[in-house]
Amino acid sequence: MTRFTVNGQPIEYRLDPETPLLWALRDASNLTGTKYGCGTGQCGACTVHVDGRPTRSCQLPIGRLEGSFVTTIEALSRDRSHPVQQAWVAESVPQCGFCQSGMIMAAAALIDRNPAPTDEEIDAAITNLCPCGSYPRIREAIRRAGR
Ligand code: FES
């Protein structure tokens, strides 16, 4: 059994400790906003926050999360008031949309620690992949969110 907090709720997972966090969230907690893309830590579609840090959930076994605090896109977008979410809407960022929940989680973590990032800092922090190539709108939305 592994205990940690997801979106403010303490949860006990009775799963193999090697289960990737992504599948605990999606299959055991029905938090399907976190997406499966590559499954190899490359694309970032599965990004969540673990203790405030952006984390590829497909690569993190839940056994390492005892006592941690996990935040998913469901909590971040709950009341539609998060500045990153508002900026995303204002800049019409999504195209196909598949990468967007992970992208927003990565952007929110960046804005939390650096509200006015330079383009270089955005590019260094946001390593998530967008198959549609919406990177210019992503950068603009991150700048807007920090204002
Ligand atoms: Fe986790 Fe691509 S699904 S990084």
Could you give the ipTM of this predicted complex? 0.96
How high is the mean pLDDT of the chain?
Answer: 95
**CATH architecture assignment, domain 83-146:** Orthogonal Bundle (1.10)
Q: Which atom of ligand 1 is nearest to the CA of 58?
A: 1
Cβ neighbours for 86, distance < 8 A, ≥ 6 positions apart = 80, 145
Tell me which residues have their CB closer than 6 angstroms to ligand 1: 36-39, 41-46, 56, 58
- The whole-number pLDDT of residue 33 equals 97
Pairwise pLDDT comparison (76 vs 47), residue with the higher score? 47
For 2-76, which CATH superfamily applies? Beta-grasp domain (3.10.20.30)
Q: Which two tokens stand for residue 12?
A: 């006990």
Q: Ligand 1 mean position to 62 CA, how many Å?
A: 16
**How remote is the CA of residue 34 from the centroid of ligand 1, in Å?**
10
- 97: left (phi > 0), else alpha (psi -120 to 50), else beta? left
pLDDT band at 49 (very low <50, low <70, confident <90, very high): very high
For residues 78 and 66, what is the distance between their CA atoms, to the nearest angstrom? 25
Distance 72 CA to ligand 1 centre (A): 14
Nearest CA to ligand 1 atom 4: 41
Q: Is the pLDDT confidence value at 28 over 90?
A: yes
Task: Tell me the whole-structure pTM to 2 decimals.
Answer: 0.95
**Backbone angles phi and psi of 6, in degrees to 5:** -120, 120
Q: Ligand 1 centre from 69 Cα, in Å?
A: 20
User: Is there a common fold for 2-76 and 83-146?
Assistant: no
Q: Could you report the per-residue pLDDT of 61-103, keeping only the tens digit for each?
A: 999 999 999 999 999 988 778 999 999 999 999 999 999 999 9
Place of tokens 């941690």: 68
Centroid of ligand 1 to alpha carbon of 145 (angstroms): 25
If one residue of 46, 105, 127 were mutated to test the ligand 1 pocket, choosing by the most ligand atoms within 8 A of its CB, it would be 46
Write down the domain spans for the chain: 2-76, 83-146
